[in-house]
Structure 1
Amino acid sequence: MNIEQLKDMKNSEEYLLAVNVVSELEQVFDIEIPDSEVGYLAIHFSGKQFIEIKPGEENFVITSKIDGIVKHILSEVKSSYNIDFTNDFELRMSLALHLVPMDIRLKHDMFLRNPLLGEIKQRYTLAYMLATSACGVLKKHYKKDIYEDEISYIALHFNLALERNRSTIAKKNIVIVCATGRGSSSLLVYRFKEEVGAYLNRIEACDVGQLKYFDFDRVDYVITTVPIPFSVPKPILEVQFFLDEGDVKALKNFLSGKTTFSFSEKFDSRLFISHLSASTKEEVIRKMVDRIKEVKTIPNNFYDLVMKRESMAVTAFGNLVAIPHPCEVIGDETFVCIAILDEPIIWESVEVQFIFMMSMKKDRDENMEAFSTMISRLLLNPAYIQKMIQTRDYQTLANCFNQIEEEMRSE
């Protein structure tokens, strides 16, 4: 530590704490500790501080530099995942408060271990992916790689923001379709109000014949107790007339947005590469992009956008899995290309054999959270990945997702 750095530290609260600690150590061990060591100890205190603002204490001011980094982070997340946190003041503040000690750690190459790293990656995969994108901004700013432990701490802030969004339920308008008359439909409407009224704004009822002439602009969903033999422009959920516990749970998941996604819609069998021979991640990505071009309409710079993301943040998640993707949302659909390598390769110092390349659509995907939850359960479960590597079969993939969907419905 040079003299100027030491001078700057001497006025800080952490330096005074370090002086007291060093004084105790000198007395106990009968040694003399130089000022530079006091400075290094102060840096460690600064890098691990928890910032809590209390009434009556001196104002804590977030610098324009830190605020600018946070804004850049949220802009990057919006660009990459089409999830907009720019108006989430609580997230902005929590990230800024987190970055103050993190700024010190990065400047002085300090390592802060997170014992919950594995659990965070597995349970909060979407949040971890958002944090990985965020740390691409930090990597560029500090010109240093960001450890996974640091990424996982930032993931916790994003997960809290996602949880806040989940707890805010937008009430829905529905039409209930029955096969019988007004009396039975009125009974079903009453039961809906009783069981899931907190999720509903307006409930209408009709029979199948009336549904042909119904104004679907008035509702968000169609709930039916009978098959509907013609196409309707709204999502449909079939339930029994006498709602059982499973129906009520399915209704709550459906109305709260905890819906699953169409497997075939996002997983085109033509983009399932059961055998891929490659020796580097660049070769893998190039071959996968070439396959995507045969099936989907993608921009000419798709490969460059994926490689830009690779330069910004880690995409190897462990468990032999890598999740490369473009650094920005592109196109009109979300899709996935899967490749299983003939032999594992080293990908960012990690062994990888199962590659899950995805591209997100520009418009907001209402099923994004369900999608990310299901893929996280697939990709971070060693049993599923080993089964996929052994069978190399598209139907096995579909079966795994069906099993995951059943697990989620029973929770």
Structure 2
Amino acid sequence: MLNPRITAIIRELLKADTPLTSEYLARVLAVTSRTVRNDMKELEAIVEDFGASIKSIRGTGYQLLIHEDLTFRQFLLEIVEQENEKYDEIPTLPEDRIRYIIKRLILADEYCKLDDIADELYISRSTLQNDLKNVKHIFQRYGITLEKRPNFGLKVIGDEFKVRLCIYSYIFQKNENVLDLVNTDWLIYTKKDYAYIRKVIIDRINTHNISLSDISLNNLIVHIAIAFHRIRKEKYVSLFHSDLLELKREKQYQVAKEIVKELEKGLTVRFPESEIAFITIHLLGTKMVTELHLDESTIHEMIDNQIGSVVNKILESIDYELNLGIKDDKELYVAMCLHLKPAIHRYHYEINLPNPLLDEIKSNYPAAFQAAVIASLVLKHELEIDINENEIGYLAIHLGAAIENTKIGKKLKRCLIVCATGVGSARLLASKIHSKFTDKVEIVGTTDYYKLNKISLLNIDFIISTIPILTELSIPVIHVNTILGGGDFEKIETVLAGRSTQNLPYVKKELVFLQKEFETRDKVLNYLCRQLQSLGLVSEDFLESVFAREQLSPTSYGNFVAIPHPITPQTDSTFWTICTLKKPVDWGEKRVQFICLLSVEKNSTNDLQNMYDYLVDLIDDQQIVQRLLKCKTYPEFETVLSIKNKH
């Protein structure tokens, strides 16, 4: 039976196009380089029997060489079967270990010994102690503490309602299939229980013409299943009498009462009145809108005036800060209004609705997520509501759809031509561009170079020039031949596709800091913001705004990368400040070694989505990030980034 850490190393070697160092593997697995080297010796002996070998190149790293493809494939199949049988729940990455420990502690009926947990995870007691620091920090968010008893271990202590919310968030949030939890040691309910609860809920919501999305329905089933699991252990939620009376007045209370009546028949368990109120709370946190045959006027009647006003302010703020062109999107307005009402109920009752798409939204739609962050600031100002990152992610889904819709009907890119060889040549150049890019480019005019400084570039997307323009401008400049050739067309296509013609877009030598020795996220951010302030690029408020953004949702994205930025745009131009670290630091619930502090131009008229796309493409490339982390000088860094740009 293979150590799960060794199977993780095999996965990393299979994914890699280049050799992997022990330092890199140690970072991924959150162990020491020495542990990795010992594992590699064991792995070398294992793979030799299955048609492969490990090539160790001094100063470069380890590489997996496969000599007998069929034999090695059989070996991989055996590993997969082994994992399915026993190691489904044994994680190797630190963030997965933390989730495992939370699960282990919160579902335990009695005290848990640390040595037992360390043995289950194949880690040392000191590694477990480090992981426990993060676990305690997460528990604090729910008002949960760990009671320690000598010779017995640790036990979870906390309010039952908060404990259930924690179970919901940290056991089910990452599970794509909730039925995974009915076949493991973490048994919460059986498949039969799950199916029965689902049937009862669907029957009731159909009776009352309640429309729920699949995610909302699944969340409600899970909440009730958790309640069932806890009631069987005689763990009950408690509510203040005033809260109970208030909930009884809601129409959702009647639906909850009917659901409970049916559940008690099939599950042979009694739900006290407080549990009916608990289910009511979760019904209030779902979109209780009947979508059958509703016309536009009826939908608008359902929208609360206060919420409608707040959504208008949200869209105006996003338009002012990011210029995304979605302010007048009527469909977005309605979607945001209908989404916010249950979201406000969730906030009021502290329901942290898991968002299974959160990581993908943050990574792939950063512009939409930043727009949602701005929306959260408006909610805080107008309604004194602090929504969490899961809710921000749900808002980002609506905003991202609107942003994508603007791309479908995207207006033509506006282009100015600078030509030094006379009007005839300029007109010929314009005609050639127009015939080649009819549906993509609008030529707004031509000018001589010496007149360029008198022309406003506010509504122009890029310049095509037959002579080099040495002055730094706010928009891209494409240098072409007077008689356009094939290479010139490629340059224009590059700009139209949103890619930069420069080797290192948004990167300046004086803003790249390599191989730094910082031990915490805060020290990294303090250092970078001081550097920017000393160069006169940011104000004194910049650092405070960056920390405010981190408070809402950590900007760590996996692959050892974080992209911190101010909560709203602060600077007069868009640029990146890069920092690499000798050792990873904890950043949210992830570990980070490559930091790109992003500064976006205030009230920008440029299409920032292209910049975000470029950045996401860069940080998603595991091999490039690994190579950038090794760079010790700017020329090395420039070379690696240039290689990435060519691809």
Q: TM-score, normalised by structure 1?
A: 0.77
SS of residue matched to 2:439: helix
Q: Which of these residues, 239, 264, 272, is aligned with residue 34 of structure 1?
A: 272
Residues 42-75 of structure 1: CA distance to partner in whole angstroms, max 9, x if unpaired?
A: 2222323264651396864333443454355446
Q: Does residue 168 of structure 1 match 2:410?
A: yes
Offset, 1:97: 1.8
Offset, 1:184: 12
- Provide closer, same or farther for how the CA distance between residues 174 and 361 of structure 1 changes in structure 2, counting only shifts above 3 A: closer
Q: Does residue 112 of structure 1 match 2:353?
A: yes
SS of residue matched to 1:120: helix
Structure 2 residue aligned with 1:129: 370
- Provide closer, same or farther for how the CA distance between residues 387 and 134 of structure 1 changes in structure 2, counting only shifts above 3 A: farther
Q: Which of these residues, 521, 524, 531, is aligned with residue 281 of structure 1?
A: 521
Q: Paired residues, what number? A: 397
Structure 2 residue aligned with 1:20: 258
- Provide closer, same or farther for how the CA distance between residues 81 and 398 of structure 1 changes in structure 2, counting only shifts above 3 A: farther
Structure 2 residue aligned with 1:324: 564
RMSD across aligned positions (CA): 4.1
Residues 294-340 of structure 1: CA distance to partner in whole angstroms, max 9, x if unpaired?
A: 43343233333333433444333333222232334334222222111
Q: Which of these residues, 382, 386, 406, is aligned with residue 622 of structure 2?
A: 382
Conserved 8 A contact 1:80-1:327: no
Conserved 8 A contact 1:341-1:354: yes
SS of residue matched to 1:352: strand
Structure 1 residue aligned with 2:304: 63
Q: Does residue 272 of structure 1 match 2:515?
A: no
Conserved 8 A contact 1:139-1:146: no
Structure 1 residue aligned with 2:585: 345
Q: Does residue 91 of structure 1 match 2:329?
A: no
Mapped partners of 2:422, 2:298: distance in 1: 68
Structure 2 residue aligned with 1:309: 549
Conserved 8 A contact 1:114-1:152: yes
- Provide closer, same or farther for how the CA distance between residues 192 and 52 of structure 1 changes in structure 2, counting only shifts above 3 A: farther
Q: TM-score, normalised by structure 2?
A: 0.52
Mapped partners of 1:333, 1:184: distance in 2: 31
Amino acid at match of 2:410: T
Q: Which of these residues, 448, 467, 471, is aligned with residue 228 of structure 1?
A: 467
Query: Structure 1: 5+ residue runs without aligned partners?
Result: none
Computing the radius of gyration from Cα coordinates, the structure with the larger value is: 2
Amino acid at match of 1:119: E
Mapped partners of 1:211, 1:184: distance in 2: 9
* Alignment of structure 1 residues 198-217 onto 2, 5 Å: 198-202=439-443
- Provide closer, same or farther for how the CA distance between residues 133 and 37 of structure 1 changes in structure 2, counting only shifts above 3 A: same
* Alignment of structure 1 residues 332-371 onto 2, 5 Å: 332-371=572-611
- Provide closer, same or farther for how the CA distance between residues 52 and 394 of structure 1 changes in structure 2, counting only shifts above 3 A: farther
Conserved 8 A contact 1:322-1:355: yes
- Provide closer, same or farther for how the CA distance between residues 393 and 378 of structure 1 changes in structure 2, counting only shifts above 3 A: farther
Q: Which of these residues, 37, 41, 44, is aligned with residue 282 of structure 2?
A: 44
Structure 2 residue aligned with 1:146: 388
SS of residue matched to 2:302: coil
- Provide closer, same or farther for how the CA distance between residues 356 and 222 of structure 1 changes in structure 2, counting only shifts above 3 A: closer
SS of residue matched to 2:274: helix
Offset, 1:355: 1.9
Mapped partners of 2:502, 2:541: distance in 1: 28
- Provide closer, same or farther for how the CA distance between residues 75 and 284 of structure 1 changes in structure 2, counting only shifts above 3 A: farther
Conserved 8 A contact 2:556-2:590: yes
Conserved 8 A contact 1:15-1:42: yes
Conserved 8 A contact 1:135-1:313: no
Mapped partners of 2:628, 2:494: distance in 1: 29
Amino acid at match of 1:129: Q
Higher relative contact order (CA 8 A, sep 6+): 1
Offset, 1:197: 1.9
- Provide closer, same or farther for how the CA distance between residues 46 and 351 of structure 1 changes in structure 2, counting only shifts above 3 A: same
Conserved 8 A contact 1:378-1:400: no
Conserved 8 A contact 2:252-2:280: yes
SS of residue matched to 1:105: helix
SS of residue matched to 1:271: strand
Name which of structure 1's ranges 24-33 and 266-275 shifts more when overlaid on structure 2: 24-33
Mapped partners of 1:14, 1:399: distance in 2: 61
Residues 332-356 of structure 1: CA distance to partner in whole angstroms, max 9, x if unpaired?
A: 2222221112222223343222222
Name which of structure 1's ranges 365-374 and 73-82 shifts more when overlaid on structure 2: 73-82
Identity %: 23
- Provide closer, same or farther for how the CA distance between residues 335 and 174 of structure 1 changes in structure 2, counting only shifts above 3 A: closer
Structure 1 residue aligned with 2:400: 159
- Provide closer, same or farther for how the CA distance between residues 168 and 40 of structure 1 changes in structure 2, counting only shifts above 3 A: same
Structure 2 residue aligned with 1:290: 530
Conserved 8 A contact 1:266-1:336: yes
Name which of structure 1's ranges 195-204 and 369-378 shifts more when overlaid on structure 2: 195-204
